[in-house]
Chain A
Amino acid sequence: MSASTIAPPVPQGAVRRALRGAGARVGLCIAAVFLLLTVAAPAVAPYDPYDQDLSSALSPPSAAHPFGADQYGRDMLSRVIYGTRTALLAIVMADGLALVVGGGLGLIAGFTGGHIDAVIMRAVDVLLSFPYLLLALIIVAALGPSLTNSVIAIGIIYTPQYARLMRGQVLKVETLDYVTAARAIGASRLRVMLLHVLPNSFTPVLVLATLQSGAVVVETAGLSFLGLGAQPPSPDWGALLADGHGYFLTAWWIATFPGLAIFAVVVGFNLLGDALRDQFDPKMRSL
Chain B
Amino acid sequence: MAQYVAHRLIQLVIVLFGVSVVVFVTMHLLPGDVAQLLLGDHATAEQLVRLRTQLGLDQPVWVQYLRFVEDATGGDLGTSIQSGHPAMKDVLTAFPVTLQLTLFSLALASLAGVPLGVLTAMRQGSRFDGVVMTLTLFGVSMPIFWLGLMLLVLFAAALGWLPVGGLMPVGLDPPRVTGMSVFDSLWSGNERMVVASLRHMLLPTVTLASVPLALITRITRAEVMAAATLDHVRTARAKGLDTARVVLRHILRNAAIPIVTVIGLQLGLLLSGAVLTETIYSLPGLGRLMVDSILSRDYPVVQAGAMFIATLFVLVNLLVDLSYAALDPRISRA
Check B150 against A255 for contact (C-beta < 8 Å). yes
Docked Cα-Cα span, A226 to B23, in Å, equals: 21
Interface centre among A123, A140, A221, A245 (most CB of B within 10 A): A245
Check A214 against B146 for contact (C-beta < 8 Å). no
CB of B153 closer than 8 Å to a CB of A: yes
Which of B153, B219, B309 is close to A287, meaning CB atoms less than 8 Å apart?
B219
CB of B302 closer than 8 Å to a CB of A: yes
Please report the number of residue pairs spanning A and B whose Cβ atoms sit closer than 8 angstroms: 148
Check A286 against B222 for contact (C-beta < 8 Å). yes
Check A267 against B222 for contact (C-beta < 8 Å). no
Chain A binding site: helix, strand, loop or mixed by DSSP? helix
Docked Cα-Cα span, A127 to B18, in Å, equals: 8
Check B275 against A226 for contact (C-beta < 8 Å). yes
Q: Which residue of A lies closest to B268 (CB)?
A: A131
Distance between A243 CB and nearest chain B CB, rounded to angstroms: 11
Which of A225, A245, A287 is close to B218, meaning CB atoms less than 8 Å apart?
A287
Q: Which residue of A lies closest to B311 (CB)?
A: A129
Which of B158, B225, B309 is close to A134, meaning CB atoms less than 8 Å apart?
B309
Check B145 against A225 for contact (C-beta < 8 Å). yes
Chain A 95-152 interface residues, beta-carbon cutoff 8 Å to B: 122-123, 125-127, 129-135, 137-145
Check A287 against B268 for contact (C-beta < 8 Å). no
Chain B 138-173 interface residues, beta-carbon cutoff 8 Å to A: 138, 140-143, 145-146, 149-150, 152-153, 156-158, 164
Count of chain B residues with a beta carbon within 8 Å of a chain A beta carbon: 57
CB of B280 closer than 8 Å to a CB of A: yes
Chain B 1-48 interface residues, beta-carbon cutoff 8 Å to A: 14-15, 18-19, 21-23, 26-27, 30-32
Which of B143, B149, B267, B269 is close to A244, meaning CB atoms less than 8 Å apart?
B149
Interface segment, one of B55-63, B184-192, B242-250, B287-295: B287-295
CB of B310 closer than 8 Å to a CB of A: yes
CB of A50 closer than 8 Å to a CB of B: no
With A131-B272, A227-B291 known to touch, is A138 a contact of B153 (CB < 8 Å)? no
Chain B 286-325 interface residues, beta-carbon cutoff 8 Å to A: 290-291, 293-295, 299, 302, 306, 309-310, 313-314, 317
Check A139 against B26 for contact (C-beta < 8 Å). yes
Which of B23, B157, B291, B306 is close to A228, meaning CB atoms less than 8 Å apart?
B291
B 239-282 binary contact with A (CB < 8 Å = 1; else 0): 00000000000000000000000000001110111011001100
Check A249 against B157 for contact (C-beta < 8 Å). yes
Docked Cα-Cα span, A133 to B313, in Å, equals: 12
CB of B226 closer than 8 Å to a CB of A: yes
Distance between B20 CB and nearest chain A CB, rounded to angstroms: 10
26 contacts between A and B (CB under 8 A): A122-B14, A125-B18, A129-B19, A130-B19, A131-B268, A133-B271, A134-B275, A134-B290, A134-B306, A141-B294, A141-B302, A142-B26, A142-B27, A222-B145, A222-B276, A226-B275, A244-B149, A245-B149, A248-B157, A255-B149, A258-B146, A263-B143, A266-B141, A266-B142, A270-B141, A286-B221
Residues of A that sit less than 8 Å from B by CB: 122-123, 125-127, 129-135, 137-145, 214, 218, 221-222, 225-228, 238, 241, 244-245, 248-250, 252, 255-256, 258-259, 262-263, 266-267, 270, 286-287
5 nearest interchain CB pairs? A126-B18, A259-B146, A133-B272, A131-B268, A142-B30
